[in-house]
Amino acid sequence: MKVLGYAGRRLIWMLPTLIGALIVIFFLTQALPGNAAMSRVGQFVNPETIAQVKHNMGLDKTVPEQFVIYVGHLFQGDFGHSWKTGNDVIIDLGDRLPATIELTLYTLIIAIPLGIVLGTLAAATKGSWFDRIIHTYVTFSLGIPVFWLSLMLVYIFFFLLGLVPSPTGRLDILDTPPPHITGFYTLDTLFAGDTEMFGRAVAHMILPVLALVFVTSGPIVRVTYSTMSNQLTSDHIRAATASGLSRWRIVGRYALKNAMIPIVTAVGLTARLLLGGAVLIEIVFSWPGIGRYAVESLLVADLAPLQAVVLITTILTLLINLVVDVSYFWFDPRIKVA
Amino acid sequence: MNVETTEKTQSPPLQSTGATPAATKSKRTKIPVSLLIGGSIMLAWLLITIFVPLLIGRNAEEVTYGSKLLAPSADYIFGTDALGRDVLVRTATAFRYDIVIALGSVISAALIGVLLGALAGSVPEWLDNIEMGVLDVISAFPSVILALAMAAALGASIGTLIFAIAVVLIPQYARATRAAILSERSKPYAEAARAMGLHPARTVLIHLLPNTLFGTLTQIALDLPTAIMIAAGLSFLGFGVQPPTAEWGLMINEGSSYIVSGQWWVTFFPGLAILTLVIAFSLLEVGIKRFSGRQ
């Protein structure tokens, strides 16, 4: 219960940060070059039309007034209107947010256990050939730009080997998406009973998830490795070894449990980095997620979608931080709520 | 005057306690391998970026009609891109831009961040809270997305790219320096400075701050790869360095449409370049840590 109270207090403390973020988002998008009204109707119209469009878009009001209106609308769940897609932003997000979340969720589901297992094994077999391979893995994982890795994977697995479909998004170009239930195509195709399309949805996910797993698991491996190395030379582990417990029982049950806090911190950091990395991946694979939505809106000065995406990723970042902090209580019962 | 010099000679021993003179000596004479390799890669890049364009005798932005998308050969060792430009010359030249962006953004972030951190660590608590609150707002944004929005808002150019990356990196320098200043402030030499009635700004800037700089240096080495990655990423998306300039991220973008038709070399070599530079930076970072014997 105390932990719940703590989480609640933290949620309230997020508010000032969120208001600050809203101010930054609003004024940053205000500063974008290009005239939103003009890029909507084109430059070859008479000034009255522009004025009319500006009035309709609320751009003739003063900037503070626009800000108040913007925030007011947000509280009603209104993210504005995208003139490029012709939809309310909330509708567009309903399609695109699941695409991004599906990608990042599968990445985390694979990258977190993989990172922890590889880091633990390398630390437990310090100095071995395996340890050295893992070190190389981490070096490359931290040094490879994710968009470049994706392109190379496309070259090898699509162009050379023909094992995966072309990078055209979530399904083949001619496919009609499955009925919207969860928005995750890997689930919706199954609900629709279309196993063939399920196969294609999975095939389209393989490369982007592979690329993201490679770059996100590196930091997790590195932190797990260094924490576990310290753990395995500590007194309580030496005592457990002396009492004749098996090596893997010691590593898995005693050392890993104590190493969880730095690992969880690293996982949180990785999850935040993933939100940025997803933007780059979505461009390479024509993945119709929120990152690509933001970039495409940015190119034509369509402000509302951009504001919405920055706001959503910011809220997700703050929530990830909160979850990480709260999880400390679970991993280390000695930590008391202050 | 006299008082000041004793202050200065007193602070270094406080830093290096724990290491016996003998141990320090043996570590100092032996330069870590990682530092050597990292340094060699950097040196190699410096030579490549200066001499490769000269030796080949082609310009990075030189368009040759009739030699578009040529595969690597003796004539064009890394092949040519869609405009018939030499990928090797472009990759070599791009180092200049990428290194300037990385160093420029990280060093300005460090300078501003350290000053902000020192300020936060020495002003009244309410002002400290406001400052840290503002920095919290900046770090609440995912860094690539914030840099992207800023670069787009200010108009894509190398200058705004440096600025955007610097803003993203500032909070961690400020936070680390603030924490270090707070812990240094309670040490005896700081109390002595206060007791002697030195001006607070002088105490912080001249006496406390130098003792926090080691952490900053490590952070700089750690941030250089991050800066290169963000710069390349933004240029890849079209919001960083603009064509026809040779920059790695932009080159990868220019080659990306030819990947599905098999012209891998336009994309491959600039990415490889990023990889070598990032590895060099991480080796340097490990080396700096070992060299100062503070791992």
DSSP letters, A101-159, are HHHHHHHHHHHHHHHHHHHHHHHHTTTSHHHHHHHHHHHHHHHS-HHHHHHHHIIIIII
Give the separation between CA A51 and CA B210, rounded to whole angstroms: 58
Of A158, A276, A314, the CB nearest to B140: A314
β-pair partners for A88: A81
DSSP class of B294: -
ipTM of this predicted structure: 0.86
A79-88, B160-169, B171-180 — which is least confidently predicted? A79-88
Among the listed residues B271, B95, B83, the one whose alpha carbon sits nearest the alpha carbon of residue A155? B271
Of B141, B229, B259, the CB nearest to A21: B141
Residue with tokens 């990830």: A320
Instruction: Report yes or no: A273 at the B interface, CB cutoff 8 Å.
Output: yes
Instruction: Output the pLDDT for position A66.
Output: 83
What are B10's two structure tokens? 């007193």
Residue A286, Ramachandran bin (φ over 0: left; ψ between -120 and 50: alpha; else beta): left
Instruction: Output the pLDDT for position B200.
Output: 79
Give the separation between CA A278 and CA A150, rounded to whole angstroms: 11
Residues of A in contact with B261 (CB under 8 A): 159
pTM for the complete prediction?
0.86
Verify whether the Cβ–Cβ distance A167 to B278 is below 8 Å: no
pLDDT band at A160 (very low <50, low <70, confident <90, very high): very high
Verify whether the Cβ–Cβ distance B152 to A32 is below 8 Å: yes
Instruction: Give residues with Cβ within 8 angstroms of B282, minimum separation 6.
Output: A139, A142, A143, B38, B225
Of B141, B153, B233, the CB nearest to A31: B153
Please answer whether residues A264 and A328 qualify as being in contact, where contact means their C-beta atoms are separated by less than 8 angstroms.
yes
A-B interface: how many C-beta pairs under 8 angstroms?
Answer: 136
Give the separation between CA A203 and CA A302, rounded to whole angstroms: 32
Verify whether the Cβ–Cβ distance B137 to A21 is below 8 Å: yes
Three-class SS of residue B156?
coil
DSSP class of B261: T
pLDDT band at B1 (very low <50, low <70, confident <90, very high): very low
Compute the mean pLDDT over every residue in chain A, rounded to the nearest whole number: 86
Q: A9-38 as b/e, with b when 16 or more CB fall inside 10 Å?
A: eeeeebeebbebbbebbbebbeebeeebbb
Residue A159 C-alpha, separation from nearest chain B C-alpha, in angstroms: 6
Residue A270 C-alpha, separation from nearest chain B C-alpha, in angstroms: 11
Q: What is the dihedral of CA B80, B83, B84, B87, to 10 degrees?
A: -30
Domain ranges in chain A?
2-75, 94-328
Instruction: Output the pLDDT for position A330.
Output: 83
Residues of A in contact with B141 (CB under 8 A): 21, 24, 310, 313-314, 317
Residue A179 C-alpha, separation from nearest chain B C-alpha, in angstroms: 30
What are A235's two structure tokens? 């007194």
Residues of B in contact with A149 (CB under 8 A): 271
Residue percentage of chain A with pLDDT more than 70: 94
Cα A44 → chain centroid: 41
Instruction: Report yes or no: A100 at the B interface, CB cutoff 8 Å.
Output: no
Among the listed residues A152, A268, A252, A258, the one whose alpha carbon sits nearest the alpha carbon of residue A216? A268
Residue B253 C-alpha, separation from nearest chain A C-alpha, in angstroms: 9
Please answer whether residues A96 and A293 qualify as being in contact, where contact means their C-beta atoms are separated by less than 8 angstroms.
yes
- Highest mean pLDDT (candidates A107-111, A197-201, B262-266): A107-111
Give the separation between CA A271 and CA A280, rounded to whole angstroms: 15
Instruction: Report yes or no: B261 at the A interface, CB cutoff 8 Å.
Output: yes
Instruction: Report yes or no: B171 at the A interface, CB cutoff 8 Å.
Output: no
The domain covering A94-328 belongs, at the CATH homologous superfamily level, to MetI-like (1.10.3720.10)
What's the length of chain B? Answer: 295
Hey, what amino acid is at B235? S
Interface of B with A in 229-258 (CB under 8 A): 229, 232-233, 236-239, 249, 252, 255-256
Of B149, B233, B256, the CB nearest to A310: B149
Please answer whether residues A22 and A71 qualify as being in contact, where contact means their C-beta atoms are separated by less than 8 angstroms.
yes
Whether residue A177 is predicted with pLDDT greater than 70 in this model: the reply is yes
Residue percentage of chain B with pLDDT more than 90: 32
Instruction: Output the pLDDT for position B15.
Output: 41
Among the listed residues B85, B174, B181, B87, the one whose alpha carbon sits nearest the alpha carbon of residue B138? B174
User: Which residue does chain B place closest to A16, by CA atoms?
Assistant: B133
Whether residue A157 is predicted with pLDDT greater than 90 in this model: the reply is yes
Interface of A with B in 135-164 (CB under 8 A): 139-140, 142-145, 147-149, 151-152, 154-155, 158-159
Instruction: Report yes or no: B225 at the A interface, CB cutoff 8 Å.
Output: yes
Residues of A in contact with B264 (CB under 8 A): 152, 155, 159
Residue/partner pairs of A190-195 with CB below 8 Å, 24 or more apart: none
Instruction: Report yes or no: B37 at the A interface, CB cutoff 8 Å.
Output: no
Residues of A in contact with B138 (CB under 8 A): 24
DSSP class of B70: P
Give the separation between CA A295 and CA B147, rounded to whole angstroms: 12
